[in-house]
């Protein structure tokens, strides 16, 4: 009986000790995405898990609302504050709406960074841009220009919603680099609201109202797929090239059909990886200030500019030669 009791006590104590050790070692980093169920963010989560494994003793909590609303993200952030995570890395649905919730998190000592889609400077310690907006804008126009017959023609832009922070900045950048591409004549910008049916309809509208259209730039993953399908259905493959930002797995079929010659995206795996690495740097006491250099593991260093923002890397171009291979990854 005595032995039995002693054994039990020993077991209880050792379990408690092991549990304590695990709790103390595990740093919790929350990766908050725009909405669950989007391939891009699922891939970012892969990268975050990779970073967690590399750092060791880090648990990545992958979470987000079910639809892309700021309200949903605020709820998620509030529950993360209640769970006492160590850091929050968020891709925001709204630049300003998340600021109060994130300020509350920082007041509680939680490190806050934004990545992909940014939060206003007062709501985070640093922002990780996947690439610089200037590079993205330039790449979009370059991909359109490279495939224009005789190097010139009409180009239209199919965006997400008229209020999307990301898309609007990229479109601005596209317009600033236009003088470098004299052949590209941007005729209009239309908005597909990131809905397949509306984007499809807007593309049909573009084809009708601009008979000489040679390329469509869609810097949105829903829009580029819908535009490619609409171009294929209208029998315009070879006449209109659809390019922009998309995911290899979603675009593989349209590259094969010829509706899209090339498109670009940064590597979301790298992005999730870098965001997690940066969050870990801050937990370990690194300071985020303009001019500071933070480590992103295998991705090198992030140099912070004004507003504590930094760019990870150049966007990567996918075409018939490599899309199949990347389609298997994300």
Partner 1 sequence: MNMLLKNREALLVVAILALLTLITLRFPGFIQPANLGRVYNDTSILIILALGQMAVILTRCIDLSMAANLALCGMVAGLINVALPGLPIPLVIAAVVALGAVLGSINGLLVWKLNIPPIVVTLGTLTIFRGSIFLLTGGQWINAHQMSDVFKGLPRADFLGIPALSWFSIAIMAIVFVVMTRTTVGRAFYAVGGNPHAAIYTGIDVGRTRFLAYCLSGALAGLAGYLWVSRYAVAYVDIALGFELDIIAACVIGGISIAGGIGSVPGAVLGALFLGVIKNALPVINISPFAQMAISGTVIIIAVAVNARAERRKGRVILKKAEAH
> Which positions touch partner 1 (CB under 8 A)?
35-39, 42, 66-67, 161-162, 188, 190-191, 193, 195-198, 200-202, 204-206, 208-209, 225-226, 228-229, 233, 249-254, 256-257, 327
Alpha-carbon gap, residue 168 to 159, rounded angstroms: 8
Q: Distances in Å between the alpha carbon of 284 and those of 34, 83, 268, 278, 306?
A: 26, 20, 24, 10, 23
DSSP 8-class letter at 305: -
Whichever of 125 and 203 has its CB closer to partner 1, that residue is: 203
Cβ-based nearer residue to partner 1, 171 or 312: 171
Nearer to partner 1 among residue 135 and residue 228 (C-beta): 228
**For partner 1, which is the closer residue by CB, 167 or 274?**
167
Q: How far is the CB of 197 from partner 1 (least distance, A)?
A: 7
Tell the smallest beta-carbon distance from residue 324 to partner 1 (Å).
9
Considering the complex, what minimum distance in angstroms separates the CB of residue 34 from partner 1? 12
Nearer to partner 1, 27 or 254 (CB): 254
Q: How far is the CB of 76 from partner 1 (least distance, A)?
A: 16
Return the number of the residue (19 or 162) whose C-beta is nearest partner 1.
162
User: Least distance to partner 1 from the beta carbon of 195, Å?
Assistant: 7
Least Å distance, CB 37 to partner 1, is: 3
Alpha carbons 64 and 82: distance in angstroms, whole number:
15
Rounded least distance, CB 325 to partner 1, Å: 14
Question: Is 208 within 8 Å of 236 (Cβ atoms)?
Answer: no
Query: CA neighbours within 13 Å on the CB side: how many for 276?
Result: 33
Q: Evaluate whether 153 touches 183 at the Cβ level (below 8 Å).
A: yes
Neighbours of 100 (CB within 10 A): 13
Residues 42-56 as b/e (b if ≥16 CB within 10 A, e otherwise) read: ebbbbbbbbbbeebe
Q: CA 91 to CA 152: how far, in whole Å?
A: 37
Cβ-based nearer residue to partner 1, 250 or 281: 250
The CB density around residue 129, as the number of other CB atoms within 10 Å, is 24
CA gap 137, 262 in Å, rounded: 15
3-state DSSP of 26-61: CEEEEEECCCCCCHHHHHHHHHHHHHHHHHCCEEEE
- In the bound state with partner 1, the residue whose beta carbon lies nearer, of 97 and 195, is 195
Q: How far apart (Å, rounded) are the C-alpha atoms in residues 243 and 312? A: 22
């Amino acid at each position: 009986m005595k032995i039995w009791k002693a054994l039990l006590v020993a077991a209880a104590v050792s379990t408690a000790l092991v549990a304590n050790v695990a709790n103390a070692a595990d740093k919790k980093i929350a990766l908050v995405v725009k909405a669950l169920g989007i391939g891009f963010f699922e891939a970012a989560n892969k990268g975050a898990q990779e970073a967690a494994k590399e750092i060791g003793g880090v648990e990545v909590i992958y979470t987000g609302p079910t639809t892309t609303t700021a309200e949903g993200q605020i709820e998620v952030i509030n529950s993360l504050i209640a769970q006492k995570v160590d850091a929050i890395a968020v891709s925001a649905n709204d630049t300003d709406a998340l600021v109060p919730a994130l300020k509350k998190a920082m007041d509680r000592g939680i490190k806050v960074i934004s990545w992909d889609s940014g939060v206003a400077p007062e709501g985070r310690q640093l922002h990780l841009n996947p690439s610089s907006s200037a590079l993205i804008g330039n790449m979009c126009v370059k991909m359109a220009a490279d495939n224009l017959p005789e190097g010139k023609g009409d180009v239209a832009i199919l965006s997400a919603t008229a209020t999307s922070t990301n898309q609007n900045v990229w479109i601005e950048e596209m317009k600033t680099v236009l003088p470098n591409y004299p052949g590209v004549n941007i005729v209009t910008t239309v908005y597909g609201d990131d809905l397949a049916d509306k984007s499809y309809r807007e593309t049909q509208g573009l084809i009708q109202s601009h008979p000489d259209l040679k390329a469509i730039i869609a810097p949105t993953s829903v829009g580029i797929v819908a535009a490619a399908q609409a171009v294929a259905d209208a029998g315009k493959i070879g006449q209109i090239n659809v390019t922009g930002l998309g995911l290899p797995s979603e675009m593989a079929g349209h590259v094969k059909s010829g509706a899209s010659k090339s498109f670009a995206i940064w590597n979301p795996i790298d992005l999730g990886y870098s965001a997690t690495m940066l969050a870990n740097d801050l937990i370990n006491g690194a300071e985020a200030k303009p001019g500071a250099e933070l480590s992103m593991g295998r991705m090198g260093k992030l140099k912070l500019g004004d507003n504590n923002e930094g760019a990870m890397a150049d966007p990567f171009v996918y075409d018939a030669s490599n899309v199949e291979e990347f389609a298997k990854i994300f």
